[in-house]
Amino acid sequence: MSAAKYVAIITDGNGRWAQRRGLPVIEGHRAGADVVKARLRDAVDLGIEELTVFSFSTENWSRSEEEVSGLMAMMGERIIGETPELHEEGVRMRFIGRREGVDPELVRRMEWAEAETAGNERLSLFIAFNYGGRAEIVDAARSFQGGSEEEFRRHLYAPDMHDPDLLIRTSGEERLSNYLLWQCAYSELVFAEELWPDFDRAAFERALGAFEERRRRFGGR
């Protein structure tokens, strides 16, 4: 079995991680963002070409105003603070999801990060923000005039994104939560017990190792 080149992660468990430590939820999200950065560097070392992380879903707006506003502020800070460093490391950043209803200043920062890193080729980092798999399919269907699956793909948020070889979800939960529903049709799934802030390099390597032990048949025998 070959190694995974395209990996998607549902970074679940930030809130529970904070709760168990008696910390505000936003501190769990900050710890989780640090882990995204660390595992991104590991991904480069491990030969991964595309990494997609779920940072904020279309359903997450239903959370408390305090948590949502904290997440929005943190996202803006991280984009400004970390884009230059990721650019230096050859990472191309792309944000996938609906931009309507998102603070215009945050959208400008997202667009700036995408433009700044557009020419990089070492690794592509797709950040699913204000993203829902069903929303993506509905949005694509609005402009789709008919034809093949490949033609439909061109209407998705990031037509150039490869279907993930592997989808990892942390925190012990075993569901897709409306994530990359079109793209993950044939992805291998690994559910890790660690909460996302505790998902270290060893846990990442275990998940990648589990993928390598599987035989992908894509409907064949």
Angle formed by the axes of helices 104-117 and 65-88, to 10°?
Answer: 20
What three-state secondary structure class fits 128? strand
Please list, in sequence order, all residues whose beta carbon lies within 8 angstroms of the beta carbon of residue 22, skipping any fewer than 6 positions away: none
Residue 89 lies in a domain: yes
Residue 217 lies in a domain: no
The pLDDT value given to residue 165: 97
pTM over 0.85: yes
Any idea which residue has 């070392």 for tokens? 45
Helix (H) or strand (E) holding 83: helix 65-88
Residue 12 designated active-site: yes
> What does each of the 221 residues of the chain score in pLDDT, given as a tens digit?
589 999 999 999 999 999 999 999 999 999 999 999 999 999 999 999 999 999 999 999 999 999 999 999 999 999 999 999 999 999 999 999 999 999 999 999 999 999 999 999 999 999 999 999 999 999 999 999 989 999 999 999 999 999 999 999 999 999 999 999 999 999 999 999 999 999 999 999 999 999 999 876 655 55
Residues 185 and 9: their CA atoms lie apart, in Å, by 15
The pLDDT value given to residue 2: 84
**Cβ contact 104:136 at 8 Å:** no
Residue 221 lies in a domain: no
Residues 21 and 221: their CA atoms lie apart, in Å, by 48
Q: What is the CATH number of the domain that holds 25?
A: 3.40.1180.10
Domain carrying residue 165: 6-212
Paired residues of 168 in beta bridges: 9, 190
Burial code (b: 16+ CB inside 10 Å, e: under 16) for 98-107 equals: eeeebeeebb
Q: How remote is the C-alpha of 180 from its chain's centroid?
A: 9
Residue 218 lies in a domain: no
Q: Which of 42, 60, 139, 178 is catalytic?
A: 60
Residue 149 lies in a domain: yes
Please give the tally of structural domains in the chain.
Answer: 1
Q: Which of 12, 14, 130, 165 is catalytic?
A: 12
Please list, in sequence order, all residues whose beta carbon lies within 8 angstroms of the beta carbon of residue 84, skipping any fewer than 6 positions away: 116
